[in-house]
Amino acid sequence: MTRTAHTFAYAGSSTLTGSGAGRSLGLETAGGTTPAGAEAHPRFFAGFLGEPQAAARGLLAVADVAAARYFRRTLRASLDPVVTAGGDRLRFESFSGCCGVYARLDILPEGLRGADTGHGTTNVDVNNPLREALSRLTDTDPLHLRVGPDELAVTTLDGPVVEKKVPLPDRWLRGFAESQAITTGFDLRAELTAAEAVRFLRSLPRGSGGRAGGPLWVVPAGRTLRPTTRPAPGAVCLPGPERLGAFQRVLRHATGLRVYGPVPDGTAPTASAWEVALPGMRLTLTLSPEADRGFSGEGSVLEALAGDTAAGDADLVSVLLAWEPRIDPADLAEQSGLPAERVRAALTLLGTAGRVGYDLAEAAWFHRELPYDARRAERHNPRLVAARALVAQGAVAFDGPATAQVASGERRYRVRESGGALSCTCQWWADYRGRRGPCKHALATRIARRTAPAAAGTRTPGAAPAAGSAAIPSGTNAPLGDAR
């Protein structure tokens, strides 16, 4: 697993100060991106929270996920949450250390009072003393929230006084991209009232489920959800129910529960998303298909990364994002002059650079900028790197308009296209049958076909031209994602 050292440099530690009506929550920011460019300590909000206790517990839930590993729990995991200011709302995001749980707290316009919200993305300091202070918050007195340095201190900052150096696995960035690409295909599958939501979530097992008992599913049953071991009609997969434990922080404030997922295809486990509604807020946890399986190896963005037009389209679409809290692909298609399907592919590619996220509740993308080198997702994706190497070696030989042979090592694999989808005779395809994206042989075939459209006849290995690399648009910097 590739890791790089990343330093979060804060002007100070985040704190909760005061008492009664004079309480103030100050969240310190590290280097981030705004419409004006990169800033060392951007300031996004200074105002009051509509529901301070619910917001505090929601922030703690996001921090819980950032500090957790639900697989290989003995390894450390610690990363400060990301906050994106979208002009009318604040979104706090995190990924678990095992890359299997994505958490996001959306504080909506009705949850923020008395101030304008800025635009941009940064990390916020959530330290242990702050966590303890927020945990002790019990009353509903007004709470002033500041995201960014105090205005009185801005002119006197002469350098960071608090630094956190953490390892950032490359799979975290891929996890962000994969989770949002997967959830674009989700539908609302169930909705529970506050009372039923609390009853159901409190009934879930707290211990580690692992894989011994197989995947758990839930099906609507009257006003609630009933667990089952088989994906019956209307079922939603609940892989590793203990991974919803962060919801325990906010149950007393819950106003409902929404469950999102794909239509089951066979008995294989699938990802799912669980959204607890709070007053003026939403807390969403998205779970990978299995507790020991990170999002970063799902392969749902590989086709976009391997495309020949998506990179240029993404460059065009990226200048139109404008930090909007809701991005409508139809509007982008009209502004850019691109067909809607190419806009969606461009958004998928921008997601691999951490430049957009996806909001299930509003079925819309949103603009953000994560602090990663934008080209890392492609450069460190093993299947894509291997596929490009196969094409460069001339390993793809077409023996018909819908079939090809790919020489890999001492073996040859047959790749066949049917209905736009590719299948392969390799072990990866036999194991997953497309559920975790294309294998390297199918990807190599797709790339070779695009770079040599006239190669419909037979071609021997060695004649294929080297594939060019579809570069990921370099937004600015990109932050959080373990892959298999």
- Please tell me the pTM assigned to this model: 0.83
Percent of the chain with pLDDT over 70: 82
Name the helix (H) or strand (E) containing 455.
none
Selected residue with higher pLDDT from 167 and 246: 246
* pLDDT computed for residue 300 by the predictor: 74
What is the distance between the alpha carbons of residues 170 and 122, in angstroms, rounded to a whole number?
18
Domains and CATH numbers, the chain: 3-169 (3.10.150), 174-297 (3.10.150), 381-451 (no CATH)
C-alpha 168/C-alpha 341 separation (Å) is: 33
- Determine how many CB atoms are found less than 10 A away from the CB of residue 406: 27
3-class DSSP assignment, residue 8: strand
Nearest-CA neighbor of 43 among 194, 160, 136, 150?
150
With bands split at pLDDT 50, 70 and 90, how would you rate the model's confidence at 103? very high
For strands 143-147 and 23-27, give the pairing: parallel
Range picked from 76-90, 106-120, 301-315 for highest mean pLDDT:
106-120
pLDDT band at 80 (very low <50, low <70, confident <90, very high): confident
Tokens of 311: 């990179």
Rounded to the nearest 5 percent, the helix, strand and coil shares of the chain are: 30, 30, 40
Residue 158: is its pLDDT beyond 70?
no
> What pLDDT is attached to residue 73?
59
For every residue of 330-369, which 3-state class applies, written as one string? HHHHHHHCCCHHHHHHHHHHHHHCCCEEEECCCCEEEECC
Enclosing H/E stretch for 415:
strand 411-418
**Using alpha carbons only, what angle is made at residue 345 by residues 413 and 187, rounded to the nearest 5 degrees?**
95
End-to-end CA distance of the chain: 9
| 156 Cβ contact partners less than 8 Å away, ≥ 6 residues apart | none
Residue predicted with more confidence, 249 or 165: 249
When mean pLDDT is compared across 20-34, 267-281, 388-402, 452-466, the lowest value belongs to 452-466
3-state secondary structure of 286: strand
| pLDDT, tens digit (0-9, with 9 covering 90-100), for 25-44 | 999 999 888 998 889 999 99
Contact 472, 285 (CB under 8 A): no
* Cα separation values, 372 from 122, 251, 269, 320, 477, Å: 12, 34, 30, 21, 5
Q: Report residue 145 as tokens.
A: 């929230």
Q: What is the pLDDT of residues 253-302, one digit of tens each?
A: 999 999 999 987 777 889 999 999 999 999 999 999 988 888 876 677 77
